[in-house]
């Protein structure tokens, strides 16, 4: 599958784009900096911080300094406070009762790394950059001014305390993992643990999606689904997928070149679109094929395509979400003597082209797993049956931002900086050249579609990347995937569908995760001559279905350079979003 129109446009190389259309995370929540205690929003960070200090007696900057919070600690703190507020609770008592440096601080739970609200400007702010600027200003003031030397004892003590707190912030780095639980569950827990009995149960029910909140959430999911399926009702997106020969040939070969699997089989095609895979299954020898698509418009044309190719006797097209199906229009099974047998409408083969950008965008895999559990007979085949996600380090060319540095002899740095800021908030979908990769690829996640559960879609995986030449700068990490039609089911001809930059480009292209700052890297053999170069970039990659926006994806990257002497550089964390239009 491809994505919504906005991300399809973003999938083109940046050099070919006329405009940047990053509207895929539209939200009813508005824009600006939101108060930590309510819904009030402000145009600037300073206005929001001043509001919270004046109206609620809470200074975020002062609290960070007191507790020595780095960027990751601040992200956790902000999300903790938002979850408390969502549960109808005042977060201040829990904060005031926590001693600086306490290992029991309530915001240290790694689940608070996941954003509690969409596009939270407080999470995207560079708090450590502020710390460095304040420390430099304080140092300059202390070293270059006689007046500073003659400062009164209270002022000097305050300055020293502030410098010490800033030093602690820059040194304190904590490990993070993106946990599977969502913010609603955390809000419910907070309400149950700290609220009164009646208040807690009410707040927890609201936070967990009960009552009116659940209705509103369901309505929002339905609107997103309608938009999602409408995006597949136009012919342009289907032409793009059908013209992708790597994609279409892989499915065709799996369905038509494995007669022991397909001959006489009953097949279910989830997300059938124009009916191409359903017709390939019929041509490959299937006795009966049911194609399902959530778009009524495209399902109508799939039926016409089936009839035009003389396959109406084998292929039936149904317009429905697979989760809403109560029965499959399959012929009854027969025994060796031709007698009809009673059977629960199960199929022998489940096929679906469900993959999105970075493999998991659009969350269609859950529908495939639902169909597997509901309609596939025990021991039946899932096509494809394996999916892998890869990551590699990349140089400056992978992001395409360099295009704006020299446009027909003119510098357009303002555009470049704007796109860079966006790329630190939302993953960039674009074609990456193989020569822009500077490390070997590492497989960070493997899915077995025949056995995995829906919850397995959310994962955290470690990585460690090294370069073969250098020194050279790593500017981003690049993600791609492959899917396998393995010999487990495709015994005559196994097939691999790869979206690697080293192969023919597909409509999925690649997904680029821009780093906050470039990391200089070199092979271990070269490191002694270049002590500033890291010999590895290591960390964790987390991907999870968004709890805030249906069919959207949250990606969290935690990384740090590792040096030849065994030391580790500053750890960074970036949260990227991938969302569909409502």
- Residue-wise pLDDT for 118-146, tens only, equals 678 888 888 877 777 777 777 776 665 54
489 in a structural domain: yes
Q: Are 390 and 377 within one domain?
A: no
Q: Which residues are catalytic?
A: 353, 362
The conformation of residue 527, written as its DSSP 8-state character, comes to G
Q: Are 365 and 394 within one domain?
A: no
Phi and psi (nearest 5°) for 382? Answer: -115, 125
Q: Are 424 and 572 within one domain?
A: yes
* CATH code at position 475: 2.70.160.11
461 strand-pairing partners: 541
- Residue-wise pLDDT for 33-46, tens only, equals 999 998 899 989 99
- Residue-wise pLDDT for 424-483, tens only, equals 999 999 999 999 999 999 999 999 999 999 999 999 999 999 999 989 999 999 999 999
8 in a structural domain: no
Q: Which of 365, 383, 401 is the last residue before a domain boundary?
A: 383
9 in a structural domain: no
Q: Label residues 197-212 b or e (16+ Cβ within 10 Å = b).
A: eeebebbbbbbbbeee
**Lowest-confidence range among 1-10, 171-180, 501-510?**
171-180
The conformation of residue 35, written as its DSSP 8-state character, comes to P
CA angle 264, 265, 266 (to 5 degrees): 130
- Residue-wise pLDDT for 185-217, tens only, equals 555 555 555 444 444 333 333 344 444 544 555
Alpha carbon 387 to its chain centroid, in Å, reads 16
Domain count, the chain: 3
pLDDT at 568 over 90: yes
Q: Which of 345, 361, 383 is the last residue before a domain boundary?
A: 383
Q: Are 398 and 343 within one domain?
A: no
Q: Are 184 and 258 within one domain?
A: no
* CATH code at position 304: 3.40.50.150
Q: Which of 349, 383, 417 is the last residue before a domain boundary?
A: 383
Q: Are 466 and 487 within one domain?
A: yes
499 in a structural domain: yes
Q: Are 402 and 424 within one domain?
A: yes
Of 178, 58, 168, 172, give the one whose Cα is nearest residue 109.
178
Range of the domain at 499: 386-578
Q: Are 242 and 119 within one domain?
A: no
Q: Are 328 and 246 within one domain?
A: yes
Q: Are 431 and 495 within one domain?
A: yes
Rounded-to-integer distance, Cα 411 and Cα 415, Å: 9
Q: Are 174 and 130 within one domain?
A: yes
C-beta neighbour count of 344 within 10 angstroms: 9
Q: Which tokens in the block code for residue 114? A: 């996941």
400 in a structural domain: yes
136 in a structural domain: yes
173 in a structural domain: yes
- Residue-wise pLDDT for 399-425, tens only, equals 999 999 999 999 999 999 999 999 999
Q: Which tokens in the block code for residue 548? A: 């805030």
Q: Are 263 and 306 within one domain?
A: yes
């Amino acid at each position: 599958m491809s994505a919504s129109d906005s991300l399809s446009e973003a999938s083109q190389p940046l050099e070919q784009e006329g405009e940047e259309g990053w509207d895929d995370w539209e939200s009813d929540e508005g824009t600006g900096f939101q108060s930590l205690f309510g819904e009030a929003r402000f145009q600037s960070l300073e206005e929001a911080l001043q509001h919270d200090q004046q109206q609620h007696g809470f200074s975020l900057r002062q609290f960070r300094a007191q507790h020595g919070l780095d960027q990751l600690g601040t992200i956790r703190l902000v999300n903790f406070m938002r979850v408390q507020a969502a549960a109808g609770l005042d977060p201040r008592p829990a904060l005031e009762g926590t001693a600086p440096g306490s290992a029991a601080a309530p915001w240290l739970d790694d689940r608070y790394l996941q954003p509690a609200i969409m596009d939270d400007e407080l999470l995207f702010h560079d708090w450590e950059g502020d710390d460095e600027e304040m420390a430099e200003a304080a140092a300059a003031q202390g070293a270059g001014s006689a007046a500073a030397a003659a400062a009164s004892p209270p002022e000097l003590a305050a300055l020293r305390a502030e410098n010490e707190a800033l030093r602690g912030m820059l040194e304190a780095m904590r490990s993070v993992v993106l946990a599977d639980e969502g913010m609603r569950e955390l809000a419910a827990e907070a309400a149950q643990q700290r609220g009164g009995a009646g208040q807690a149960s009410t707040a927890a029910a609201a936070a967990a999606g009960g009552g009116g909140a659940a209705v509103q959430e369901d309505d929002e999911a339905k609107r997103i689904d309608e938009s999602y399926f409408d995006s597949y009702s136009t012919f342009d997106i289907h032409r793009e997928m059908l013209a992708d020969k790597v994609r279409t040939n892989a499915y065709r070969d799996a369905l038509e070149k494995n007669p022991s699997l397909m001959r006489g089989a009953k097949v279910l095609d989830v997300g059938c679109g124009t009916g191409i895979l359903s017709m390939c299954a019929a041509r490959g020898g299937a006795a009966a094929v049911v194609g399902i698509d959530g778009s009524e418009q495209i399902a109508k044309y799939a039926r016409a395509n089936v009839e035009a190719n003389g396959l109406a006797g084998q292929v039936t097209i149904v317009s429905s979400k697979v989760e809403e199906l109560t029965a499959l229009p399959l012929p009854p099974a027969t025994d060796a003597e031709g007698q009809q047998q009673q059977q629960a409408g199960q199929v022998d083969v489940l096929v679906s082209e469900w993959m999105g950008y970075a493999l998991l965008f659009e969350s269609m895999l859950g529908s495939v797993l639902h169909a597997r559990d509901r309609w596939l007979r025990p021991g039946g085949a899932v096509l494809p049956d394996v999916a892998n996600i890869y990551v590699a380090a990349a140089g400056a060319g992978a992001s395409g931002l360099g295009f704006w540095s020299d446009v027909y002899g003119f510098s357009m740095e303002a555009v470049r900086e704007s796109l860079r800021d966006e790329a630190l908030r939302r993953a960039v979908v674009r074609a990456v050249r193989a020569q822009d990769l500077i490390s070997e690829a590492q497989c960070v996640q493997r899915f077995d579609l025949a056995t995995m559960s829906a919850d397995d879609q959310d994962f955290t995986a470690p990585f460690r990347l090294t370069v073969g030449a250098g020194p050279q700068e790593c500017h981003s990490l690049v993600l791609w995937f492959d899917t396998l039609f393995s010999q487990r089911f495709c015994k005559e001809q196994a097939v691999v569908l790869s979206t690697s930059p080293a192969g023919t480009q597909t409509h999925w292209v690649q997904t680029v995760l821009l780093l906050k700052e470039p990391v200089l890297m070199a092979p271990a053999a070269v490191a002694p001559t270049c002590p500033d170069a890291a010999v590895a970039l290591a960390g964790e990659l987390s991907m999870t279905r968004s709890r805030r926006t249906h069919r959207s994806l949250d990606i969290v990257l935690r990384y740090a350079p590792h040096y030849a002497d065994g030391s580790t550089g500053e750890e960074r964390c970036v949260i990227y979003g991938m969302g569909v239009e409502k």
